[in-house]
Amino acid sequence: MSTVTAPADERVAKTSVITRLMRRPEIGALMGLIVVYIFFSVVDQTGTFSGLTGAARWTDVAATTGIVVVAVSLLMIGGEFDLSAGVMIGTAGLFAGLLITEYQMGVWLAIFLTFIFAAGIGFINGWLVMTTGLPSFIVTLAMFFSLRGINLGVTKAITDTVRVAGVDEGAGFDSARVVFASEIIPPYNFKIAVVWWFVLVAIATWVLTRTKFGNWIFAVGGDKNAARNTGVPVRRTKITLFMLTSMSAALVGIISLLRLRSMQAGQGVGEEFVFIIAAVVGGCLLTGGYGSAIGGAIGSAIIGMAFIGIAYARWNTDWSWLFLGLILFAAVLVNTLISRRFQGVRR
Amino acid sequence: MTDVTPALQLVDVSKSFGSVIALRNVSMHVDNGSVTCVLGDNGAGKSTLIKILSGVHEPSEGQLLVNGAPKRFTSPRDALEDGIATVFQDLATVPLMSVWRNFFLGNEPTEWPWPFRRLNAKKAKSICKAELLDMGIDIRDPEQPVGTLSGGERQAVAIARAVHFGANVLILDEPTSALGVKQSGVVLKYILQAKERGVAVVFITHNPHHAYLVGDRFYLLNRGQMMAEYTRSEVSRDELVKAMAGGAELEALAHELENL
């Protein structure tokens, strides 16, 4: 605090540090993260969950979920959904895999083309939403089922099976694997995907809070008409967000293709709701205009802990879905209560 | 003052939507450094008039002139580029975003070269605070969400924003209709402040009392037609109120109410 501040305004109730902290969108998720971490550390049967060995496992789940959640969070702040983000993982993996195995393309070129292809799918999503005026929920649901059909249909037609295998024979496979699918920090063996995740969260946070584009994301999600009337390019902003979401899913598709050396046609289906859950747990409003990339990352970490924690507790992993359902409900409830209590926004 | 080119002028403008004629042969002019009031009851065609002035609709017939030159606006962005800013009734603010982010929305100041180009938040906050202070509103904290401001303060933010970004013509759509007496007074003060800066203000309202407090020229709109035009020296407040309410109708109403 400077010593020459203007006299305090009597209209302002003092905002304490706690109140200011509670106003952050990700605070509910952070408290949830601590609770979940303690809970699974206590019920852990292997004795490794709370340490780095356990962390290497749950950060892997968190990262492969979280890379897409970063983009999904921005998209949700921008007021839209993408239900095709899960199946897009499979589509991208199959696309790259087929280019490498059936067309003898170099791995790096195939990866590059896959990102272009994913950007195209995202563009179609965004263009359709903006042009037809239909809810993105419907448009991307249609894209979800279309891609699901295409994934199976094309893979079966070309390979006569439901998977694409043999990627490791492509030129450049080893160098690509180092970048996308290697392990770091022995003996714990964290996955390199965790690095990708951290970097993307950092970039997204910077873009969201510090750049013009970030300002526009909040504006188009908060009030589309107000944004348009003040000269924000609403259409361009939203289409860009859809493209980023598809491309982030493509990154995860490529990571798992290089890890497993093959791709199942059904990969990624069902993940789309996990992404939305992570974003919502992280404090993104379903109605748009509010949230953070860090919140989405915390939401992903909670999901990673839940999946690994349940396995480490030697419970049947079928229970993870129940856990996800409960945590979603609890998080939304807590976030709503917090924002009502501390936000003080008249709407 | 007839030799001065008006900042904004409509010549015989008509607008129809299918078979509905919303405006018929409307002519008006707006001068720099003055407040032009457009008065009209509900359904008089005020909204259509605003939408034509601000570029949302194109006139079906007639001409729109900016500083004497004919123009065609196809979007609010076109009008903005010619210095015509409109403060719509919904204020075009995003409630969950902070005051300074709203203030600079669509016109964000940036620093540093690409790819590190970022918002110059420090500059934005201090400009925002200073501009609002100029309007006589002491914003508590530019970081607070606009949704926490009162209606009058939000109006002030919207007006200050339009003036700051070089509005030459400022169109205000019913800025006082949703406000209390005191807040209306504050907004009327902003209108005079904008006028003193040389801005041509178009004040659209159905309240002749408010109009008379700040207006230099008054247009009366009824059933899509310009019924009358007064300058301030030609008309008293009572005359304006009467003209607005349709004179005889008001007397009949007063009589009716007295007999209750």
Q: Tell me, yes or no, whether A165 lies in a domain.
A: yes
State whether residue B126 sits within 8 Å of chain A by CB. Answer: no
pLDDT at residue A19 is higher than 80: no
Q: Tell me, yes or no, whether A341 lies in a domain.
A: no
- pLDDT tens, position by position, B126-144: 888 888 887 777 777 888 8
DSSP A108-127: HHHHHHHHHHHHHHHHHHHH
Domain that holds residue A124: 28-335
Residues B140, A11: C-beta atoms closer than 8 Å? yes
Q: Which domains are assigned to chain B?
A: 8-258 (3.40.50.300)
Give the HSE-up count for residue A151: Cα atoms under 13 Å, Cβ half-sphere: 27
What is the C-alpha to C-alpha distance for residues A122 and A250, in angstroms, rounded to an integer?
11
Q: How many domains does chain A have?
A: 1
| Strand boundaries in chain A, DSSP class E | 163-165, 183-184, 190-191, 262-264
Contact between B144 and B111 (Cβ < 8 Å): no
Query: Which of A223, A228, A284 is the best residue to mutate to test the B interface, defined by the most B CB atoms within 10 Å of its own CB?
Result: A223
Nearest residue of chain A to residue B161 (CA atoms) = A230
Residues A343, B145: C-beta atoms closer than 8 Å? yes
What ipTM goes with this model? 0.80
Q: Is A103 helix (H, G, I), strand (E, B) or coil?
A: coil
Q: Tell me, yes or no, whether A299 lies in a domain.
A: yes
pLDDT at residue A246 is higher than 90: yes
Q: So what's the pLDDT on residue A86?
A: 96
What is the C-alpha to C-alpha distance for residues A42 and B35, in angstroms, rounded to an integer?
72
In Å, how far is B155's CA from the nearest CA of chain A? 14
Q: Tell me, yes or no, whether A327 lies in a domain.
A: yes
- pLDDT tens, position by position, A178-216: 999 999 988 889 999 999 999 999 999 999 999 999 999
Identify which of A224, A325, A175 has the alpha carbon closest to the alpha carbon of residue B93: A224
Q: Tell me, yes or no, whether A23 lies in a domain.
A: no
Contact between A288 and A79 (Cβ < 8 Å): yes
- pLDDT tens, position by position, B155-184: 888 888 887 887 788 898 888 777 777 778
- Chain A residues touching residue B107 (CB < 8 angstroms): 230-231
Q: So what's the pLDDT on residue A14?
A: 57
Give the end-to-end CA distance of chain B in Å, rounded to a whole number: 49
Contact between A266 and A90 (Cβ < 8 Å): yes
Q: Tell me, yes or no, whether A68 lies in a domain.
A: yes
Amino acid at A170: G
Select from A212, A219, A345 the Cβ nearest to the Cβ of B148: A345
State whether residue B237 sits within 8 Å of chain A by CB. Answer: no
Task: Grade residue B206 by pLDDT with cuts at 50, 70 and 90.
Answer: confident
CATH number of the domain at A82, please: 1.10.3470
Q: So what's the pLDDT on residue B89?
A: 77
DSSP chain B: -TTSPPSEEEEEEEEEETTEEEEEEEEEEE-TT-EEEEEE-TTSSHHHHHHHHHTSS--SEEEEEETTEEE--SSHHHHHHTTEEEE-TTTT--TTSBHHHHHTTTS--EES-TTS-EE-HHHHHHHHHHHHHHTT---S-TTSBGGGS-HHHHHHHHHHHHHHTT-SEEEEESTTTTS-HHHHHHHHHHHHHHHHTT-EEEEEES-HHHHHHH-SEEEEEETTEEEEEEEGGG--HHHHHHHHHTTHHHHHHHHHHHT-
Task: Grade residue B19 by pLDDT with cuts at 50, 70 and 90.
Answer: confident
